[in-house]
């Protein structure tokens, strides 16, 4: 095929005959995505080509200059300058970080030691704080307590959460947050959650509950004559360590089936027996090193991994981004067995460091109670003082913080007694008392389900006395008191009843009546009543 340029074409319409094609009008050839290179002999050589199109010729005019399209080629020859706009920048100071006072004052320098950490609350809202490179989980929690104006400063923790994989674990107080985040995958959905954890060091207070005798054995000759309680004390003191043993169901990597295997947890690592529960060295198989792994609780394991029970946990390498093939999924028979294994993993890995963390957690509230008012308190609250008007001198200022808190509790209980007496009078108006006073309390969680309740209590720590109140989903106008006792969640129905034309609440078929849920909670914080333990720790939903 041959092409004829515009000056050789006749003025008539385009015609095509044989191998010759004629195009009418002033047209020229344009090669998109190509460049012409001058050769030494004057000839032009095509460097690259993609599409051949025809563009109209624009007549040259000295008086009128029209906008022309700019050809941006896919392959540039060396020495050709890139196209740049000739329009000057009207605000150069806003485009230069070195000359911008706004950027310099609002953001830290790149060479600074500050890192931005994003933490979520349990209501899915987040808060970002600047922390140092060596900031620990305890220090970050203290910053969040101050910035979020939390009412109390105890039992706060950071939760490392993998929502897609259903993995979560509580960061130890001494762990460096920036180093933990460095092990995350950039494309993952891993996050930190600020929440309450009452059971972080509960095994130091009630070791027998967390370590059953059947799971404790002596692996050293020096502990042959020790009882189970003595072995547990040695375990907590990080001295001569016993070993944790028992059956667990493990998920095989390439199959969906679960296999029951006997495991041994020692200071040297995690082992499994290839022949029943035999401890002989030839039957022991090395599974993992404690120094190079973290233990996680698995949420919704039945749906995600097809677990035989809900009491599933997982171990994975601590220094690498999480991968599904690196996960070792283990399933226990009950909550006590799972808690024993996870607590033993922590003790064997960190040893005396956990004891130091526990001692600091006990001493921190005492230091905060005796300290001066913090900056987080408002000016109006800081201007109030506790007074005692029981003497004849007209009143005195209570300077002791412990005495002031005791006086505050007594005043609150006296107010509740006065309110109960007022509501019990024959001429009292039942509509005048606040019937929805429970909705503003931190232990009231509205209409959450039974499964969500158990999940929330498990996450904040299965300690005796943790409780919440929710609306019953099966009985109209009734409530449910959910209470944790011996690592299990018990549920008690709160029924409304009427007596003498007034509405009350009861949990024991009318033997004990309460005018509202707040009085019910305050009563059982002091008296067990029909409950196995007094109400101690309200299960709260943290909001940032």
pLDDT band at 33 (very low <50, low <70, confident <90, very high): very low
Res 393 pLDDT > 60: no
Region 423-440: mean pLDDT is: 57
pLDDT value of residue 494: 94
pLDDT value of residue 63: 53
Region 192-204: mean pLDDT is: 88
Query: In the 3-class helix/strand/coil scheme, how is 403-441 assigned residue by residue?
Result: HHHHHHHHHHHHHHHHHHHHHHCCCCCHHHCCCCHHHHC
Cα within 13 Å of Cα(72), Cβ side: 3
CATH class of 113-196: alpha beta
User: CA–CA separation, 192 vs 10, rounded Å?
Assistant: 77
By residue count, the chain amounts to 544
pLDDT value of residue 78: 46
Contact between 509 and 496 (Cβ < 8 Å): no
Question: Cα-atom radius of gyration of the chain, to the nearest Å?
Answer: 37
pLDDT value of residue 234: 64
pLDDT value of residue 488: 87
> Residue 127 in 3-state DSSP?
strand
Q: How many angstroms separate the Cα of 334 from the Cα of each of 144, 246, 249?
A: 34, 12, 12
User: CA–CA separation, 129 vs 177, rounded Å?
Assistant: 12
pLDDT band at 440 (very low <50, low <70, confident <90, very high): confident
Region 168-185: mean pLDDT is: 93
pLDDT value of residue 50: 42
Burial of 126 (0-12, 13-18, 19+ CB in 10 A): middle
Res 43 pLDDT > 60: no
Q: Worst-scoring range by mean pLDDT, 7-11, 173-177, 443-447?
A: 7-11
Q: Which residues contact 288 (CB under 8 A, 6 or more apart)?
A: 269, 270, 315, 328
Q: Which two tokens stand for residue 325?
A: 């093939």
Domain boundaries, the chain: 6-56, 113-196, 202-360, 412-422+434-538
User: CA–CA separation, 30 vs 68, rounded Å?
Assistant: 13
pLDDT band at 521 (very low <50, low <70, confident <90, very high): very high
- Comparing 400 with 269, the larger pLDDT belongs to 269
Q: Worst-scoring range by mean pLDDT, 71-80, 164-173, 213-222, 457-466?
A: 71-80
CATH class of 412-422+434-538: alpha beta
Percent of the chain scoring above 70 in pLDDT: 62
pLDDT value of residue 348: 86
pLDDT value of residue 68: 58
Res 453 pLDDT > 60: yes
pLDDT value of residue 105: 46
User: CA–CA separation, 275 vs 277, rounded Å?
Assistant: 6
Res 459 pLDDT > 80: yes
pLDDT value of residue 216: 80
pLDDT digits (tens, 9 = 90+) for 132-156: 999 999 999 999 988 877 767 778 9
Q: How many angstroms separate the Cα of 4 from the Cα of each of 9, 22, 165, 219?
A: 7, 7, 67, 96
pLDDT band at 64 (very low <50, low <70, confident <90, very high): low
Region 209-231: mean pLDDT is: 63
- Comparing 420 with 206, the larger pLDDT belongs to 206
Res 94 pLDDT > 50: yes
- Comparing 366 with 402, the larger pLDDT belongs to 402
Q: How many angstroms separate the Cα of 275 from the Cα of each of 210, 242, 282?
A: 28, 22, 10
Contact between 507 and 493 (Cβ < 8 Å): yes
Mean of per-residue pLDDT scores for the chain: 74
CATH of domain 202-360: 2.30.29.30
pLDDT band at 30 (very low <50, low <70, confident <90, very high): very low
């Amino acid at each position: 095929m041959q092409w004829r340029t515009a000056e050789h074409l006749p003025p008539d319409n385009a015609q095509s005959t044989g191998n010759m094609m004629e195009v009418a009008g002033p047209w020229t050839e344009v090669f998109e995505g190509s460049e012409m290179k001058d050769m030494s002999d004057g000839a032009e050589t095509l460097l690259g080509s993609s599409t051949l199109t025809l563009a109209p010729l624009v007549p040259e005019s000295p008086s009128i200059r029209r906008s022309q399209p700019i050809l941006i080629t896919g392959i540039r020859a060396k020495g050709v300058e890139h196209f740049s706009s000739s329009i000057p920048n009207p605000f150069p100071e806003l485009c230069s970080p070195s000359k911008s006072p706004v950027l310099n004052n609002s953001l830290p320098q790149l060479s600074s030691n500050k890192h931005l950490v994003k933490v979520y609350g349990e209501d899915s809202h987040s808060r970002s704080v600047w922390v140092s490179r060596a900031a620990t989980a305890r220090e970050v929690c203290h910053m969040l307590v101050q910035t979020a104006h939390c009412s109390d400063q105890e039992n706060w923790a950071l939760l490392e959460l993998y929502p897609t994989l259903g993995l979560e674990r509580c960061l130890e107080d001494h762990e460096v947050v920036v180093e933990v985040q460095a092990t995350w995958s950039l494309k993952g959905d891993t996050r930190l959650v600020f929440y309450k954890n009452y059971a972080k060091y509960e095994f130091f207070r009630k070791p027998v509950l967390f370590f059953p005798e059947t799971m404790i054995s002596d692996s050293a000759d020096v502990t042959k004559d020790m009882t189970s309680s003595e072995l547990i004390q040695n375990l907590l003191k990080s001295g001569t360590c016993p070993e944790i043993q028992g059956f667990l169901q493990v998920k095989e990597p390439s199959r969906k089936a679960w296999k029951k295997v006997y495991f041994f947890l020692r200071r040297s690592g995690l082992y499994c027996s290839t022949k029943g529960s035999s401890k002989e060295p030839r039957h022991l198989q090395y599974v993992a090193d404690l120094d190079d792994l973290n233990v996680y609780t698995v949420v919704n394991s039945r749906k995600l991994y097809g677990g035989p029970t809900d009491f599933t946990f997982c171990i994975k390498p601590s220094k690498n981004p999480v991968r599904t093939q690196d996960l070792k999924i283990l399933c226990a028979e009950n909550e006590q067995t799972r808690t024993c294994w996870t607590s033993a993993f922590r003790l064997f890995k960190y040893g005396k460091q956990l004891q130091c963390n526990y001692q600091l957690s006990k001493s921190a509230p005492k230091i905060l109670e005796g300290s001066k008012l913090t900056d987080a308190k408002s000016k109006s609250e800081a201007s109030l003082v506790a007074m005692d008007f029981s003497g004849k001198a007209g009143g005195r200022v209570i300077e002791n913080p412990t005495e002031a808190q005791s006086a505050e509790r007594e005043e609150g209980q006296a107010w509740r007694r006065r309110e109960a007496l007022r509501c019990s009078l024959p001429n009292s108006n039942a509509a005048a008392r606040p019937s929805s006073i429970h909705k503003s309390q931190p232990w009231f969680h509205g209409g959450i389900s039974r499964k969500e309740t158990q999940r929330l209590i498990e996450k904040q720590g299965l300690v005796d006395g943790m409780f919440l109140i929710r609306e019953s989903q099966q009985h109209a106008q009734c409530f449910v008191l959910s209470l944790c006792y011996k690592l299990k969640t018990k549920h008690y129905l709160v029924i409304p009843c009427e007596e003498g034309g007034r509405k009350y609440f009861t949990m024991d078929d009318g033997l004990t009546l309460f005018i509202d849920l707040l009085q019910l909670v305050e009563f059982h914080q002091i008296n067990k009543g029909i409950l196995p333990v007094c109400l101690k720790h309200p299960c709260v939903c943290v909001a940032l």
